[in-house]
Structure 1
Amino acid sequence: MTVKAPRSRSRRAAAAVAPDLAAVGEGRRRVIIEAVEPAIDGGRYPVKRIVGDVLTVRCDLFADGHDELAAVVRHRPVGAKTWHEAPLRPLVNDRWEGQFTLNSIGRHEFQIVAWIDRFATWVHQLEKRLAAGQDVRVDLQIGAALVGEAARHASGADSAVLHVAEAALIAGDVDTAFAGEIHSLMAVHLPRRFATESEVYPVTVERERARFSAWYELFPRSTADEPGRHGTFRDVIKRLPYVAELGFDVLYLPPIHPIGYTFRKGRNNSLTAGPNDPGSPWAIGNADGGHMSVHPELGTLEDFRALVAAARTYGIEVALDIAFQCSPDHPYVREHPQWFRARPDGTIQYAENPPKKYQDIYPFDFESDDWQGLWQELRRIFAFWIEQGVRIFRVDNPHTKSLRFWDWCLNSLKAEHPDLIFLSEAFTRPKVMYHLAKIGFTQSYTYYTWRTTKHEITQYLQELTTPPVSDLFIPNFWPNTPDILTPQFYAGQRSVFLTRAAMAATLTASWGMYGPAYELMEHVPVPGREEYIDNEKYEIKRWNLDAPHSLRGFIAQLNRIRREHPALHRNDTLRFHRVDIDFHEHEWLLAYSKTSPDGKDIILVVVNLDPERTQRGWVQVPVAEWGLNSMYQAHDLLTDARYTWSGEFNYVELSPQAPVHIFCIRRLRRDERGFEYFA
């Protein structure tokens, strides 16, 4: 026997479990939007692009039933009231794509809007009915109603055309349903009923130098002409023609602040400093001031501003190193002891990376009770140097400071100054490096210094130039730094210095080097460590810029080639090419190419990774993809040699004395008189 529950109880039970439809919102939105790209962590962090880039947006779009869909990607600078729209078009398997151009630097945002295209659905169904020989008089009335609805939302000539079309459909004119002009007007004016809107996705648009730049690092104190004198900003101004000759557009200076005396390091990082040892510039602060002061022996703030202005006349920007740490003599230690971590014996914890000890440096304590005061002061340091004309900063060891601080600090600064560039000096784990890029760092140091084999280089560059990494991370390749001298250089082989610079300058659009140590091929390490002996971090060096073995001419060539060839201004077209020897992949010859967006500029680089032996092989050229004829020219931009090639595989030979080809691939052309030439 079945016993039914009382009706009132049933109603109460249903009411208890019924969901609140108000929480659903507009339930008649039928289109589903999924898998939007590009998006970093689902849109939590902005995608990075350069002003003038075309942003390609893709997503999955589908709905119940068989109705036709329509969609746009709408976009605007953050804070703008008006959206701009670009249409999305279907690809395959419910994947859609659209594009728009990013015309200004700063924060932008985009959103997908999709809806049931009632007019396109009607036309599609009308075609089927006509093909089946059905009576479509009622269907034409339905179409006329849609056209009339659009006419009422249009104005001027558009409204008049649509009203005429409405009347034609009412009169039974089938051809009107397929008129191209009517389709265009309906796409614009027919209301988008029950449209689905995606989340809003952020984009950071940087200036061109954020992607394409060449950095040169030097210590100002080592620029004096006469021996025994500490270099000054005025001496650096005299050095600018040399930096410009080398072709660099960013001059990066290590910290320029007063240097502490307590626990000052001597030559080669010794614990005892002599009376003339200048100390490490990263041990910041003494009685003369801290992070918003300049070392008295370098000059004055006025001298620094003069350097910034003089550099601009050469097309060079000055980048400053921001190192958030203090010497024991820094005014902050006395004025804000709460910003540092105290040890049980009452002393302040100095910096350590066991077994390394940095007794001359106190790190900030980002868990301080006064963390808000600390954050505000550190941001004020950036703001101060921005006022002095600096727009590019290299940030020392950002991975050892609060990640939430960087998110707040960098993005608040860039909201006020969207042209700022921040280079992250973070040799750390990949996820931490990539997170720093997500939260505001424009460029980053990389693992390039330690990638030496063909397999390692290929694998690493494929990672860096493929989404999602390429959507957030802009690499800057450095073959050396004052802190890093890797084993491949220890033998002092010229070929290694040539190939490492050439690859850094052409594999990525941004590169840098620590000079004059690099062009003078300094290569002696501290025994057992990847670091220079007689390191400039702890002493003033005297460099012979005119030394006959200098690579200055080669470096200048590299940067000239980079400037003149737009293919080298970006990373997204990088591809690697097969090099064969005896029908096997060559172990020592590395080949890769880049092309300009319009396909007119093609650069093919071939590198001999063997520093001791000549290597030969056959490099594969994608003839059909590059639109090459039966013959084409490989013009070596380093030597000016020109080779006529044909077919897919062509012979190359590289010695340790000339270990790099940078080819410009030129197509065979024919002028109006029938003469053939390569261009």
Structure 2
Amino acid sequence: MTGRFPIEDVSPVVSCGRYPARAVVGELVPVSATAYREGHDALGCNVVWLGPDGRARPFTRMRPGEPGRDRWHATITPDAVGEWIFTVEAFSDPYLTWHNAVTKKIAAGQSAEDLTNDLAEGVRVLTAAADLVPAAQRARIEQAVAALADSTLPLPQRSAPALTLADLLWAHPVRELVTTGEEYRIWVDRERALYSAWYEFFPRSEGAILATTETPARSGTFATATERLPGVTAMGFDVLYLPPIHPIGRVNRKGPNNSLTAGPEDVGSPWAIGAAEGGHDAIHPDLGTPQDFRDFVAAAAEHGLEVAMDLALQCAPDHPWVTEHPEWFTTRADGSIAYAENPPKKYQDIYPLNFDNDPDGIRTEILRVVRHWVGEGVKIFRVDNPHTKPVDFWHWLIWEVKRTDPDVLFLAEAFTRPAMMHGLAKVGFTQSYTYFTWRTSPTEMREYCAELVAAADYMRPNFWPNTPDILHESLQHGGPPMFKIRAVLAALLSPSWGMYAGFELFEHVARPGAEEYLDNEKYELRPRDWAQAQAQGRSLAPFIATLNRVRRENPALHRLRNLVFHDIDNPALLCWSKHDPVTGNTVLVVCSFDSHTVQWGNTTLDMPALGLDWHDRFTVYDELTGAGYDWGQRNAVRLDPYLQPAHVFTLRRPATTVPATAAGPRGGTASATKDDARWTS
């Protein structure tokens, strides 16, 4: 820092500036700092910021926050992908000092003679300001200077033109004794880094044929998986995530339900990567050829889907790296290579990499692999278990990739200790899996989301109700209403969310004693009859489509920092909102966590958080039912898990007359679905 005034506690700053803060194009990025000065003269602050092209963006004046705290605030909106630089400046504001003093002296009854020196100082300051304001406003400055200098005018007329320049000289201030703070970085990603809807399926299951006594099993292919794309698009997803598509090891291959013995037709886990056909840069021959993959990526793009690829840095025992680079693995005392373990779990079909023996060699090879797939059109990577690899490796890899391909995104699949999860986000991961799955009460969810909002300068959450590895007991026993509840929470609390195929079919049977699916798709083909399920009313797909439509149509749901919780007097209910100050768009949600019992509650809304005054009335439209209600700060709600476990309201102001509904102003009008009666074990 150089200059006269202290500038402290600047935000957003990550790890004292060691890593860049994070934002996306078009996001409102709050900048704040503590700045103060001696005496009573006025202080001003502003943000200077440079885009990736090195070009300075418009001057951004900061406004003071709570009186007496000396905290200054502004919002900047980056408009391009890349690294941005911002600096907070503090300066003496002679016009505001003059304005404050003259206003008080006139109010105290002082005369023009008493204010002789003040009027002369006003002339000096405004003369300096004349060169700073737009040319179209220069005449106002000149008229104010002339009035101040005209001793024939009464004091109110002499001072009034100058005192009315406050707004103009706030935007174009005279700045003296300018102090320049430290430079800080913000890395700006494309919009999908913050706002996205993911769908995961195994290509080998789409179009697969299970073995019978007459015919062998047959894997699905990229061609047959293409037939599933319209269904994914119809549900409103924009990212299609594929588990590993590489050759699968034959040595120590796992059988169904993670059994140690695999039969001749068992397909093995896609995460056991590598075989005679190749490794991380190869495609499993059962899925097709490299050209088939390119065709699949292109077909997905035509359906509005971006393909995300799994980056799992581990190997099957017969991966080519094992023989070509044995130093990349850990050798045990008996000379064997150590397989992966997470006691008591054992993964005999996987060898973890050792990054210490040949760090340069292994880094070079992994960077080559990532760039290979970027060259094949993949710009999103879901990274498997990144917390089991060195953090400094990820910092190096991610920024090496972004150096040449700044639009590449990385999702961290790290269900681990908070410090590690936050650390991975700080060093460069674009998004993070979270503890969402295990937050099963309104209190837990509210507290956890508050933690995530507090970390929004560097960590972007992605909420998943299920994964191939995780089937929470709430879904095992909660019935179809719980699937709706978890979908509402995931889709509308976080700007990014995802679900694994089968969620829309209410798949809920777990392997005994485990938080995993029975007949897990990780180890076997699992073709599903999507069309029949939907025709028979056994699919949640229409509900998912509605949630994703609401997300698309409401820009308030595209952001994280704007998440606000509101009080509701029933501990089984959660009430939250998101408001976009640019468009005025507001979404208000009330969701039950109880999938078995009707719940009532009374809201006490934080009206300014909705962009309203405390006593405003407004109209809410339920996006799930089409019903409209007249609301204020306090409202009663009724949520029936089998009819409507959540209200998803968009707001209109001022309140208008809306048609009455059969349920009246206290409840929804959604009808029960057939799937509620088809819940079977």
Normalized against structure 2, the TM-score is what? 0.85
Aligned to 1:117: 93
**What is the aligned counterpart of 1:258 among 247, 262, 278?**
247
Residue 541 of structure 1: SS of its match in structure 2?
coil
**Greater mean alpha carbon deviation, residues 634-643 or residues 143-152:** 143-152
**What is the aligned counterpart of 1:360 among 349, 356, 367?**
349
- The 8 Å contact of residues 140 and 172 in structure 1, kept in 2 or not, is answered as no
Aligned to 2:419: 431
1:51 aligns with 2:34: no
Aligned to 1:103: 79
Deviations 1:515-534 (A, max 9, x none): 0x211222222222211121
Deviations 1:485-509 (A, max 9, x none): 1111223611222211221111212
- The 8 Å contact of residues 350 and 363 in structure 1, kept in 2 or not, is answered as yes
Aligned to 2:10: 36
Flag the 1:176–1:329 CA change in 2: closer, same or farther, 3 A.
same
Quote the Cα distance in structure 2 between the aligned partners of 1:138 and 1:604.
56
Flag the 1:601–1:490 CA change in 2: closer, same or farther, 3 A.
same
1:298 aligns with 2:287: yes
Write out aligned runs for 1:283-322 (5 A).
283-322=272-311
Aligned to 1:514: 500
Aligned to 1:20: none
Deviations 1:192-232 (A, max 9, x none): 55422111121122222222211110001101264432111
**Greater mean alpha carbon deviation, residues 497-506 or residues 660-669:** 660-669
Flag the 1:334–1:635 CA change in 2: closer, same or farther, 3 A.
same
Aligned to 1:22: none
1:405 aligns with 2:393: yes
Quote the Cα distance in structure 1 between the aligned partners of 2:291 and 2:658.
59
Deviation at 1:612, TM superposition (A): 2.4
**Greater mean alpha carbon deviation, residues 488-497 or residues 300-309:** 488-497
- The 8 Å contact of residues 106 and 415 in structure 1, kept in 2 or not, is answered as no
Deviation at 1:596, TM superposition (A): 3.3
- The 8 Å contact of residues 123 and 178 in structure 1, kept in 2 or not, is answered as no
1:342 aligns with 2:325: no
Aligned to 1:590: 574
Flag the 1:533–1:633 CA change in 2: closer, same or farther, 3 A.
same
1:613 aligns with 2:601: no
Quote the Cα distance in structure 2 between the aligned partners of 1:153 and 1:632.
43
**Greater mean alpha carbon deviation, residues 430-439 or residues 68-77:** 68-77
Flag the 1:562–1:334 CA change in 2: closer, same or farther, 3 A.
same
Aligned to 1:533: 518
Flag the 1:61–1:232 CA change in 2: closer, same or farther, 3 A.
same
- The 8 Å contact of residues 146 and 190 in structure 1, kept in 2 or not, is answered as no
Letter in 2 for 1:99: T
Write out aligned runs for 1:152-167 (5 A).
none
- The 8 Å contact of residues 619 and 652 in structure 1, kept in 2 or not, is answered as no
Flag the 1:450–1:143 CA change in 2: closer, same or farther, 3 A.
closer
Write out aligned runs for 1:215-614 (5 A).
215-224=198-207, 226-227=209-210, 228-368=217-357, 370-465=358-453, 467=454, 469-491=455-477, 493-515=479-501, 517-545=502-530, 546-547=532-533, 548=536, 549-579=538-568, 585-598=569-582, 600-614=584-598
Flag the 1:165–1:648 CA change in 2: closer, same or farther, 3 A.
closer
Aligned to 2:50: 76
- The 8 Å contact of residues 437 and 472 in structure 1, kept in 2 or not, is answered as yes
Letter in 2 for 1:557: T
Deviation at 1:56, TM superposition (A): 2.4
- The 8 Å contact of residues 144 and 161 in structure 2, kept in 1 or not, is answered as no
Letter in 1 for 2:504: E
Flag the 1:328–1:607 CA change in 2: closer, same or farther, 3 A.
same
Residue 543 of structure 1: SS of its match in structure 2?
coil
Quote the Cα distance in structure 2 between the aligned partners of 1:634 and 1:138.
58
Deviation at 1:344, TM superposition (A): 2.1
**What runs of 5+ residues in structure 2 fail to find an aligned partner?**
211-216, 661-681
Deviations 1:399-445 (A, max 9, x none): 11110111111122223222222111000111111111111111111
Letter in 2 for 1:609: F
- The 8 Å contact of residues 608 and 656 in structure 1, kept in 2 or not, is answered as no
Larger radius of gyration between Structure 1 and Structure 2: 1
Quote the Cα distance in structure 1 between the aligned partners of 2:237 and 2:222.
18
Quote the Cα distance in structure 2 between the aligned partners of 1:194 and 1:374.
53
Percent of pairs with identical residues: 46
Quote the Cα distance in structure 2 between the aligned partners of 1:414 and 1:148.
48
- The 8 Å contact of residues 320 and 394 in structure 1, kept in 2 or not, is answered as yes
Deviation at 1:156, TM superposition (A): 8.7
Aligned residues between the structures: 639
Deviation at 1:337, TM superposition (A): 1.7
Residue 179 of structure 1: SS of its match in structure 2?
helix
Letter in 2 for 1:531: E
Flag the 1:617–1:178 CA change in 2: closer, same or farther, 3 A.
closer
Letter in 2 for 1:656: Y
Deviation at 1:289, TM superposition (A): 1.2
Residue 409 of structure 1: SS of its match in structure 2?
helix
**Greater mean alpha carbon deviation, residues 104-113 or residues 613-622:** 613-622
Flag the 1:147–1:479 CA change in 2: closer, same or farther, 3 A.
closer
Letter in 1 for 2:456: S
- The 8 Å contact of residues 592 and 604 in structure 1, kept in 2 or not, is answered as yes
Aligned to 2:673: none
RMSD (Å), alpha carbons? 3.3
- The 8 Å contact of residues 628 and 668 in structure 1, kept in 2 or not, is answered as no
**Greater mean alpha carbon deviation, residues 402-411 or residues 131-140:** 131-140
Flag the 1:82–1:542 CA change in 2: closer, same or farther, 3 A.
closer
Normalized against structure 1, the TM-score is what? 0.85
**Greater mean alpha carbon deviation, residues 215-224 or residues 91-100:** 91-100
Quote the Cα distance in structure 2 between the aligned partners of 1:449 and 1:273.
31
Quote the Cα distance in structure 1 between the aligned partners of 2:255 and 2:146.
92
Residue 310 of structure 2: SS of its match in structure 1?
strand
Aligned to 1:640: 626
Letter in 2 for 1:399: H
**Greater mean alpha carbon deviation, residues 33-42 or residues 447-456:** 33-42
Aligned to 1:17: none
- The 8 Å contact of residues 215 and 248 in structure 1, kept in 2 or not, is answered as yes
Residue 102 of structure 1: SS of its match in structure 2?
coil
- The 8 Å contact of residues 253 and 318 in structure 1, kept in 2 or not, is answered as yes
**Greater mean alpha carbon deviation, residues 68-77 or residues 655-664:** 655-664
Quote the Cα distance in structure 2 between the aligned partners of 1:595 and 1:155.
33
Deviation at 1:655, TM superposition (A): 3.5
Deviation at 1:79, TM superposition (A): 5.2
- The 8 Å contact of residues 669 and 677 in structure 1, kept in 2 or not, is answered as no
Aligned to 2:675: none
Residue 296 of structure 1: SS of its match in structure 2?
coil
Flag the 1:239–1:74 CA change in 2: closer, same or farther, 3 A.
same
